[in-house]
């Protein structure tokens, strides 16, 4: 018992002695260079051109869709989304997203090229795009090295389409409007391949 107490107090003193020599600013200082290095490393993982290969659906929230019915709901919604995308001819003129290490990006959607910037946070699986000063947030999940799932809240996906072009065709708007009317906890978008 005495030996244990003696070791414990020695360990405590030694630990305190080492910590006393360190200043908190020395340990936790993060410079702009550190942030730039980390951002560059994160952006390298996304670097390249990613092409549409199909619709992507993600269910969030705690409603009935997120429970037992989640796989069934996702499958049905994915099928509806695929039909909507066919109306928009995305199966013919495939959207492309390009990411560069420096935080710039480009999208080719509905024959329109948009150039902007992006900020990716892999721990939150969140990406924020900025085109013409307009921010647009999405979920970005990596699926191996050659596949991404880029999904948006339904209203933000419609905003993306409206940024890319004036989707005035009523059948195209109708094809996508079902998203806004029926699904709250669902994110929809694109499966992309390198």
Residue-by-residue DSSP string for 31-97 = -HHHHHHHHHHHHHHH-EEEEEEEEEEEE-SSSGGGTTTHHHHHHHHHHHHHHHHHHTTTTTS--EE
Q: In this predicted model, what pLDDT tens digit does every residue of 91-111 receive, in sequence order?
A: 898 999 999 999 999 999 888
* Contact (Cβ atoms closer than 8 angstroms) between residue 141 and residue 80: no
Q: In this predicted model, what pLDDT tens digit does every residue of 3-18 receive, in sequence order?
A: 444 344 444 444 444 4
Q: How would residue 28 be classed by pLDDT, with cut points 50, 70 and 90?
A: low
Answer yes or no: pTM beyond 0.85: no
Helix axes 70-87, 170-182, angle to 10 degrees: 160
Name the β-bridge partners of 108: 96, 113
Query: Coil, strand or helix: which one is 191?
Result: strand
Picking from 138, 136, 131, 143, the residue whose alpha carbon sits closest to that of residue 191 is 143
- Please give the residue that has the higher pLDDT: either 3 or 133: 133
């Amino acid at each position: 018992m005495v030996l244990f107490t003696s070791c414990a107090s020695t360990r405590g003193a030694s630990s305190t002695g080492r910590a006393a020599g360190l200043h908190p600013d020395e340990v936790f200082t993060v410079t702009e260079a550190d942030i730039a290095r980390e951002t560059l490393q994160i952006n390298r993982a996304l670097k390249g051109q990613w092409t549409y290969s199909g619709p992507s659906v993600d269910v969030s929230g705690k409603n009935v869709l997120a429970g037992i019915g989640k796989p069934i709901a996702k499958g049905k919604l994915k099928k509806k989304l695929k039909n909507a995308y066919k109306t928009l001819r995305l199966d013919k003129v495939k959207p492309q997203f390009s990411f560069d290490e420096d935080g710039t990006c480009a999208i080719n959607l509905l024959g329109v090229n948009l150039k902007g910037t992006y900020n990716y946070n892999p721990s939150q699986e969140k990406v924020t795009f900025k085109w013409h000063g307009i921010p647009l947030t999405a979920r970005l999940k990596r699926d191996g090295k050659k596949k991404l799932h880029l999904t948006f809240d339904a209203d933000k996906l419609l905003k993306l389409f409206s940024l890319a072009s004036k989707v005035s065709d009523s059948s195209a708007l109708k094809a996508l409007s079902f998203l806004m009317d029926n699904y709250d906890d669902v994110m929809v978008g694109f499966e992309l391949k390198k």
